[in-house]
A and B are shown apart, each in its own frame.
Chain A
């Protein structure tokens, strides 16, 4: 540890004003603060410095992302060997998953951070930590078969158009990770829908088992044919799907971390689930087809509902900021998700579109919540004034 500090201090002068790598001092700063809290002291006035800054916040989210990530890596291997009908050891499944998931994560981080560093140097602001989380979210919400160059293009698009255009981390109106997914979804539709969820590139001597289907539960429901996985499988995630979205159980573990540390908003998570459940129940009343008649709770464990509710909807930048606003925002996400899933056959999964849609509306919700507060207080003030006058 000591040696690391010494190393940082030793190379530091090179990056400061007049140093050899002056242009790169923002990049250096990023790495320095990644390792240690900077030794800066507040020079004017009195401030209270909290130990938790953006970097620590983001690290908490990364920790919360570990359960779905690990499960996703294993599930990639599990689904592959299930498709080929081979019986292999647990570690082989994990290894297969690692080989296919790690490159996606590396590409996502490398391309996104490259853009972040370029913009930070050009605009001379600190390299922001926002991408630490986005870079991990992007691999988790796409299928494992997505070509790497597509991941890179989508990430670069999302970071530039979703974030840097608006001024960087904290200024974006849309969730960058979801924007990357939406970009892939609309730009390369054949790679993000249909039977793309399982890596089925076969080696010599391998073949797919008879009657194999790589369709997700949502696709099965939307098409109205095929076998639905059991609730148990859907809850624990032994189903095809995007890398990190399948296991509701693993996601709930992450949710506990987010709620316990106070990083993720409990109000948003709870209200998204409630909204989805309520809309599911309402649709049950009409029940003109199988999808509408499906038990409402299943919506919550299918597809990316849980992942979106826990990690995407709670993004502190693009979500509603006010307390009441968070409930409205969350409930509407749940309602719209279920509506898109059931009513619109073109989009089997509605979570992504619902969250992006509500991201756009979040400032409006906040505006009206604040307005109504102001009005209520004005009324109260007037009452008090009248009383004191009387």
Chain B
């Protein structure tokens, strides 16, 4: 892909660039197709609010990390590229962590260690390695945003299911009307436990592959 500099200048939102954003949300979704970054999906999806904040944080970190690494791509010695990538991600994560602590303190406490663990999120390193190191700044930015959005969309989906069925709320607002509880409806305690996140992700993967047969790997 590096010989792209011979190609005439393409528009900012050419079909190719648009695919960089739409692909990771659909057919090459980092969670449901590549099955990366599942750990945080299991941990923070009990409530929609926390997941939303984490999703935004990941979008920010990934977009900027991809841009920075793409800018530096000719200057990074290949032997120490992993260290450089880690440093860039870690500085961004610290930045995000400080912002969260300053503006949404309770959510930041709820996310606790998982903001810090964005550093170890395999999706981010993976995209830096696979994309930003070989591509120009703008496509790298789109790729980062796209992958983070793909990750975030699954995060939000799982969190919505878990919060609705597990606590009867969404974003902290009660969703299941009181008369249901009077009829004997009870919130599902299993939804709050981590196994249910795994099962929910599993079901999403199942449905995704059922609808898109190209994803089914025949072995």
- The chain A residues found within 8 Å of chain B, CB to CB, are 147, 149-150, 153, 161, 165, 183, 186-191
Contact = CB atoms under 8 A, between A and B. Distances in A.
Contacts of B199: 161
Contacts of B186: 150, 188, 190-191
Given A165-B202, A165-B206, A186 B184 contact: no
Q: Is the interface of B mostly helix, strand, loop or mixed?
A: helix
A49 to B, nearest CB: 32
B202 A189 contact: no
B188 A147 contact: no
A187 B190 contact: yes
B188 A187 contact: yes
A187 B191 contact: yes
**Which of B190, B193, B203 is most buried by chain A, counting CB atoms within 10 A of its CB?**
B190
A288 B40 CA distance: 42
Nearest to B189: A187
A261 B186 CA distance: 43
A186 B190 contact: yes
Interface string B165-199: 00000000000000000001110111101000001
A165 B200 CA distance: 12
Given A149-B185, A189-B189, 19 more contacts: A149-B184, A150-B186, A153-B188, A161-B199, A161-B203, A165-B206, A183-B190, A186-B189, A186-B190, A186-B193, A187-B188, A187-B189, A187-B190, A187-B191, A188-B186, A188-B188, A188-B189, A190-B186, A191-B186
A183 B191 CA distance: 10
A208 B207 CA distance: 51
A189 B187 CA distance: 11
Q: Is the interface of A mostly helix, strand, loop or mixed?
A: helix
Interface string B104-119: 0000000000000000
B57 to A, nearest CB: 30
Contacts of B191: 187
B180 to A, nearest CB: 11
13 contacts: A149-B185, A161-B199, A165-B202, A183-B190, A186-B189, A186-B190, A187-B189, A187-B190, A187-B191, A188-B189, A189-B189, A190-B186, A191-B186
**Which of A183, A186, A189, A190 is most buried by chain B, counting CB atoms within 10 A of its CB?**
A186
Nearest to A147: B184
A186 B186 CA distance: 12
A150 B183 CA distance: 13
A131 B13 CA distance: 54
A163 to B, nearest CB: 13
Contacts of B184: 147, 149
A149 B184 CA distance: 9
Ranked nearest first, the 6 interchain pairs of A and B with the lowest CB-CB distance are A187-B190, A186-B190, A187-B188, A187-B189, A188-B186, A147-B184
